[in-house]
Amino acid sequence: MKVSRLPSHLPSFVVPTRKLTIRSRLTFLTENAKYSRELEAAVDVVQTACRLCVEVQKKLFSKENSVLKKGDRTPVTVADFGVQALISMELGRLFPSIPLVAEEDSRQLRSDLENFQQNSASNSLVEAVMNAVTDSQGLQAEPLNYNQILKAIDRGGKAMTSEGKPATYWVLDPIDGTRGFVRGGKALYVVGLALVIEGTPTLGVMGCPNWDAESTYIVQNLAKETTNENELEDFIVPGIIMAACYGCGTWIKKISCNTRNVALDGSKNGWSRCTVDNCDSIQAARFCIADRETWERLPLSKNLAARVISVDGVKSWKPTIVPTCCGSLCKYMMVAAGRASVYPLQITKQSSEKVWDHAAGMICVLEAAGEVTNWDGSNLALSGDGDGRQKIIPRGGGILVTNKILHARLLHMI
């Protein structure tokens, strides 16, 4: 997928007179880079959201009603609602003219609050969400109330309305891979935030609070440069944040989800540029596939095996599958960081893909010199659905994420 050049008439957004509370100065951006303020704000609030997730996860299994089931039967937690409320409030304060498209709405919380008030229970889920947001670092000191939390969540939920499809909007997936979040341990999940302008993801930030340091080259390299034992001990929960902006590349940094703004090297404030891998052989490629899929169920699996056998003369071939746990954004992150070569996502007629599952990942892979298209080679289309939020409408049966060399070969085979 080639990102079309952004129209020259698009303005940089007017920032309120109140001073920005942005701590994440991005030294890899040029001084006059367009949308630098938006990217800095996105990086800062995603880091804060990652810390919120870690704190909530510690308490996840110690309180009743920490995990709910949404209508689609996927688990939703205090962290899902808390992250959406936190990011909605901060972006609404900094960029009030830009609407937010996000995954959650407050219906379950409002129902819980009503039961809580009627039954005089000792605690409620709404209260837990409010406490998680209040306790997170980086927000204003003023105390919050239930209405503020519910309103912030609904700003990005189904209550988000506009006259027609907005030309510019934030897209948020508060926790992509919630099943991994509630599983705990080393299961990966991602906080994803993107800015979409006229149908094109223009900047994206993904935070993964428990990125696998042992098998991720960037973390290994950073850790080798660190000699301060106390600093290493502070990284009880090592995380990664990935940021990309149109024309500026994709960058990655190790973060601590226990302390604020800790970087383990002195170059570019801890940021290192990342690119997709340069694999040019299907046999050597590393694949990550959707959690609900098996390799054998993918339509191209037999064609790939036949191609490898006929070209390389091997008797049989099994692909290298990179374990990534739940959610799509983590798989985009794997490809953008060069850890996986290909992410083929099959989409059935019965399923639909929402923009929050892809927007941040798309720009990160594209700026890392990769490709993202539908299986027929067309660009992914971001179009509105009936409730004012956005769907990705697949054409050709799926989405293909990979480097440029393999992309052309796989499209031909598909």
88 close to 100: Cβ distance less than 8 angstroms? yes
Q: CA end-to-end span of the chain, whole Å?
A: 16
Distance from C-alpha of 157 to C-alpha of 358, rounded to nearest angstrom: 17
Residue 91 neighbours by CB under 8 Å, 6+ apart = 41, 45, 98, 100, 170
Helix ranges restricted to H, 95-228: 107-119, 125-135, 146-156, 178-183, 217-224
Q: Residue 401 corresponds to which amino acid?
A: V
Distance from C-alpha of 193 to C-alpha of 212, rounded to nearest angstrom: 21
Active site residue 17: no
Distance from C-alpha of 356 to C-alpha of 87, rounded to nearest angstrom: 14
Out of 44, 80, 105, 176, the active site residue is 80
Distance from C-alpha of 389 to C-alpha of 397, rounded to nearest angstrom: 22
Angle, alpha carbons 168-173-178 (nearest 5°): 170
Out of 48, 77, 178, 200, the active site residue is 178
Active site residue 178: yes
202 close to 35: Cβ distance less than 8 angstroms? yes
Sign of the C-alpha dihedral computed for residues 352, 81, 19 and 31 taken in this order: negative
Helix (H) or strand (E) holding 78: helix 78-94
Distance from C-alpha of 123 to C-alpha of 256, rounded to nearest angstrom: 30
Distance from C-alpha of 345 to C-alpha of 364, rounded to nearest angstrom: 17
Residue identified by tokens 């990550």 is: 288
Distance from C-alpha of 107 to C-alpha of 370, rounded to nearest angstrom: 39
Compute φ and ψ for 372, nearest 5 degrees. -140, 115
DSSP assignment of 162-188 equals -SS--SEEEEEEEEE-HHHHHH-TT--
Q: How many CA atoms lie within 13 A of 50 on its CB side?
A: 33
DSSP assignment letter at 40: H
Distance from C-alpha of 325 to C-alpha of 338, rounded to nearest angstrom: 17
Give the residue numbers marked as catalytic: 80, 178
